């Protein structure tokens, strides 16, 4: 089993040995390290941290361990209970808190959980600050409060509603036209907190909602990563109910994918493309996504006279480049919408509202909308890491072999060919090497991915 420490947080599997998995001891250790970092970083009299969780079976246990560790350090906790990642991000500045912790392993299966760590802006910590927390955890340099100085836990269950109000108040969210369109939508909430938040948002917009797996019990009915092969039930429900489209989110509601009226995937990569198309049509500007995202965002951005640039993978990297380039919308091709007008974090609620505004404006079906965008096809494959595999050495060999092509090496190795690209990198969230490719057809994308998987295998054997 596994414990991964990265810019995506402290992520691991439940159970097993201390230091090798996300055990109760590890949860306490890293929560304590975060609390110690907060005190070093902020240097004030009273500290407040917002804590929320997705509906994972282990969530309540991990949350209680984390919150009471902070209480033991004299830090006050605002307990949102069942929540979403973007809701916690929104709550931190609303509460004037010093930081936030989200207990979720995003798209990972149910045996995983994680501590995602936020700063006082409700944004993910960068690599430098994350490294400081890891150093504190390893040094055990933590000090706890005396009995008269313990923190307190305050429950606040209002923030999903407050988050929805914030989304509906965004100037580009056209509430009246959406209501008048009378959409019918099937929502797959993967039995986590998206099953709470997304239907509530849709109902506020006058949408006829059909719920599928919206009971937040943590029993994921399928692999929670929102990919086509996991969504056969959603496809059947969209067709059965004659819905205008389907919506699926991951367990913590920062990734968003759509299914058209025929039960076909709109394309997870095209969630950001469509939302950007709408935003850019009203507020022209620049965009950013990560290196593993589709070229279609570049094409749409340039259509409106803007400039597109790619960052290293990881939300904190995308946000950093978005701020530098003063972009109007950005995100990740995995269905993560980052809209600065709301906040600097991936937010499926914002994505749903922008997508509905676009559909109401264009008055066309989801399948017709998809045809208006450049047609690229992506293959997303992976290689499981084995002990002793020298990933860095393999990537260096690939880099040398393709040195005459257009290379980017800020995050693994990306090779841009004229009609396609391949991106090879170690995952921040799983013990795997990811192989992403994009081409003009699915067969070309798959063939390109298989070619590099075989090449990596040959290098590893040499």
The set of catalytic residues is 106
CB atoms under 10 Å from CB of 377, counted, come to 18
What's the Cα-to-Cα distance from 272 to each of 8, 365, 385, rounded to whole Å?
A: 20, 18, 30
259: Cβ contacts below 8 Å, ≥ 6 apart = 186, 231, 234, 235, 238, 245, 246, 247, 248, 265, 266, 366
Find out whether 57 and 110 touch, Cβ atoms under 8 Å.
yes
Tokens of 363: 């008055």
DSSP assignments along 247-295, one per residue: EEE-TTS--EEEE-TTS-B--HHHHHHHHHHHHHHHS---EEEETTS-T
What's the Cα-to-Cα distance from 179 to each of 50, 126, 139, 243, rounded to whole Å?
A: 33, 40, 56, 15
The 48-53 sheet, strands edge to edge: 3-6, 9-13, 112-118, 99-103, 48-53, 76-82, 153-155
CB atoms under 10 Å from CB of 96, counted, come to 8
CA-based nearest residue to 1, from 109, 74, 96: 109
Rounded Cα distance, 234 and 212, in Å = 7
- Residue 282 CA to chain centroid, in angstroms? 25
DSSP assignments along 30-99, one per residue: HHHHHHHHHHHHH--S--EEEEEE-S-TTHHHHHHHHHHHHHHTT-EEEEEEE--HHHHHHHHHHTT-SE
Residue tagged 């992506």 (tokens): 378
Find out whether 31 and 66 touch, Cβ atoms under 8 Å.
yes
């Amino acid at each position: 089993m596994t414990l991964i420490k990265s810019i995506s947080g402290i992520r691991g599997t439940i159970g097993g040995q201390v230091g090798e998995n996300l055990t109760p001891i590890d949860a306490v250790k890293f929560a304590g390290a975060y609390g110690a970092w907060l005190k070093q970083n902020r240097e004030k009299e009273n500290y407040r941290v917002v804590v929320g969780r997705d509906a994972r079976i282990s969530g309540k246990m991990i949350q209680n361990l984390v919150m009471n560790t902070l209480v033991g350090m004299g830090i006050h906790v605002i307990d949102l209970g069942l929540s979403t990642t973007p809701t916690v991000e929104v709550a931190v500045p609303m509460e004037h808190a010093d930081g936030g912790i989200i207990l979720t392993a995003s798209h990972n299966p149910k045996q995983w959980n994680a501590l995602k760590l936020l700063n006082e802006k409700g944004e993910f910590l960068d690599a430098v600050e994350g490294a400081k927390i890891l150093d504190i955890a390893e040094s055990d340099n933590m000090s706890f409060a005396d009995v008269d100085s313990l923190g307190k836990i305050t429950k606040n269950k209002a923030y999903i509603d407050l988050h929805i109000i914030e989304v509906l108040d965004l100037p580009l969210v056209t509430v009246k036209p959406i209501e008048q369109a009378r959409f019918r939508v099937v929502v797959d909430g993967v039995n986590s907190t998206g099953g709470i938040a997304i239907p509530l948002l849709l109902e506020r917009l006058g949408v006829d909602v059909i719920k599928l797996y919206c009971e937040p019990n943590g029993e994921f009915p399928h692999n929670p990563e929102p990919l086509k092969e996991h969504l056969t039930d959603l496809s059947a429900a969209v067709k059965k109910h004659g819905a205008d489209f389907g919506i699926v989110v991951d367990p913590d509601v920062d990734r968003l994918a759509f299914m058209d009226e025929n039960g076909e995937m709109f394309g997870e990569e095209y969630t950001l493309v469509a939302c950007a198309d709408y935003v850019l049509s009203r507020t022209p500007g620049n965009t950013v996504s990560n290196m593993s995202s589709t070229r279609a965002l570049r094409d749409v951005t340039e259509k409106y006279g803007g400039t597109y640039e790619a960052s290293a993978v990881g939300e904190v990297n995308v946000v950093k480049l978005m701020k530098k380039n003063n972009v109007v919308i950005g995100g990740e091709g995995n269905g993560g919408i980052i809209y600065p007008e709301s906040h600097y974090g991936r937010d499926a609620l914002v994505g749903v509202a922008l997508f509905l505004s676009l559909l109401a404006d264009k008055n066309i079906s989801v399948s017709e909308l998809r045809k208006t965008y450049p047609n690229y096809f992506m293959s997303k494959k992976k290689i499981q890491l084995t002990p002793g595999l020298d990933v860095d050495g393999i990537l260096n060999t690939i880099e040398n072999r393709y040195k005459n092509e257009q290379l980017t090496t800020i995050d693994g190795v990306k090779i841009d060919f004229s009609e396609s690209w391949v991106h090879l990198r170690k995952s921040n969230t799983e013990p795997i090497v990811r192989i992403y490719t994009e081409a003009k057809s699915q067969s070309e994308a798959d063939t390109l991915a298989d070619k590099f998987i075989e090449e990596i295998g040959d290098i590893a054997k040499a």
